[in-house]
Amino acid sequence: MSDLEEVRKIKRTALRQIEKADSGRAVEALRIEYLGRRGGRITELLRSIPSVAPEMRAEFGKAVNALKAEVAERLKARKEQLAAPEARPAAVDVTMPGRALRLGRIHPVTRATREMCEIFGRLGFEVVEGREVEDEWHNFVALNIPLAHPARDPLDNYFLRDNVLLRTQTSTVQIRVMAGRKPPVRIVAPGRVYRPDTVDAGHSNMFHQLEGLWVEEGVTFADLKSVLAAFARGFFGPDARTRFVPSYFPFTEPSAEFYASCLLCEGRGCPACKRSGWLEIAGCGMVDPNVLEAVGYDPERVTGFAFGFGIERPAMLKYGINDIRLLYENDRRFLGQF
Ligand code: 2NL
C-alpha cells in the first residue's frame, strides 16, 4: 500500500468515527487516537514525513497536513454540536411532571380597594379614576386651599415643574368630574397619592386613598353619617360602631373625623387603636360652598358631602400587616400569604 493510500484510508475511518461519536468524551477519545502527541495515528504519519522517499515527500507531506487540519476541524465541530442542548434529545424525560405554574395573588392594597369600591357601589356610588400628575387648580385652588396654606409649601409636595405636581389627594378626580358634568354626582375615586413624607413602618411617600363625593339637591350631614356607618359595617363587620368628631378641612364645612370601633379589640383598647378602642379611618364633611362654586355648581341649589379614606391603614388592620413598607417591596414570600 502506498503512503498516500494509507492517508486516504485513515481519513475515511476517522471521519466516519467522528460522525458516529455520540458524546464529548467519545470525541476526545478520537482526538487522542488520531492527534495524540504520543502515538496518535496522524501524529505518527507527520513524524514519518522525513523518511519518505524524496520524490514523494512533498506530495505526502501536503496530504498528511491537510488530513490533520480536516480531522482537527471535524472533531471541533462535532464537539460543539454535541454541546448544544438540542443535540441531546435523550436528556428530555417526557415522563417527568411539569413545572408548577406560580399563580399570582391579588395584592392586599388592590383587595382592600376593590372591597371598598364594591361596598360603595352597593350604596350607589360610581367608581372613577383620574390622572396622578395634576395642576395646582385641581389639587388646591378648586378645593379652597389658598396659596398661603401650608399644604401648598413646595417642600411638602412633589412638584415636577411650575404648576405641575403629583396629586396629594384624589379629590382632583372629583373636581374633574364635577367640572365636566351637572349634578347629581355620586362617585368614589380610588388611587395613588404622593407626599414627600419620611418613610417608616406607618408612613410612605406614596400611598392609596379612596375619596367619595355625593352632590345633589337636599343631601345632608345625616346622609353622610348613614353612608359612612353603612360602609364601616360592610368593611369591618356588622358589629362595627362608628363616631364622628368635629374637625377642620379647607374643602368641607362642617368637617369631621370618622372613627370605627377597633376591630382587633372590639373597642376594649389595644396597641392598634392606641388603647382608645377607636380607629380614625376617614376625614369627611359637607362640601364647602366655595368648592361647589369653583366647579360651576350653585351652592344655593345643591349640597353635598365628601370623605377621604386611606386604603393602606384599614387594609393593614384587616389583614394583620404591621409595616406599610411590606406592601411595596413585592416580596413573593409576603404577597403569597394573601
Ligand atoms: C383627609 C380626608 C377628605 C375630602 C377629603 C373632598 C373632595 C371634594 C370636595 C370636598 Cl371634591 N372634600 N374630599 C373631604 C374631607 C376629608 O380627606 O384626611 N384629608 C386630608
Q: What are 144-188's pLDDT values in tens digits? A: 999 999 999 999 999 999 999 999 999 999 999 999 999 999 999
Q: CB of 174 closer than 6 A to ligand 1?
A: yes
Kindly report, residue by residue over 114-141, the tens digit of the pLDDT.
999 999 999 999 999 999 999 999 999 9
- Residues forming beta bridges with residue 286, ordered by sequence position: 305
**Which pTM does this prediction carry?**
0.72
Angstrom distance (rounded) from CA 79 to CA 191: 58
Q: In this structure, are strands 133-135 and 164-166 parallel, antiparallel, or unpaired? A: antiparallel
Q: How far is CA 142 from CA 171, 295, 297, in A?
A: 10, 7, 12
- Residues forming beta bridges with residue 246, ordered by sequence position: 256
- Rg, Å, the chain Cα set: 39
Q: CB of 285 closer than 6 A to ligand 1?
A: yes
**For atom 17 of ligand 1, which residue has the closest CA?**
308
For residue 39, what is the enclosing H or E element?
none
The better pLDDT of the pair 217, 314 is held by 217
Nearest CA to 224 out of 286, 277, 275 is that of 286
Of 255, 284, 286, 309, the residue with max ligand 1 atoms within 8 A of its CB, to mutate for a pocket test, comes to: 284
What's at 159, amino acid-wise? F
Angstrom distance (rounded) from CA 83 to CA 79: 6
Angstrom distance (rounded) from CA 264 to CA 182: 42
Kindly report, residue by residue over 42-94, the tens digit of the pLDDT.
999 889 889 888 888 889 899 999 989 999 999 899 988 888 766 556 678 88
Q: CB of 249 closer than 6 A to ligand 1?
A: yes
Lowest mean pLDDT among 83-97, 128-142, 250-264, 269-283: 83-97
Q: CB of 227 closer than 6 A to ligand 1?
A: no
Q: Which residue has the cell 372613627?
A: 259
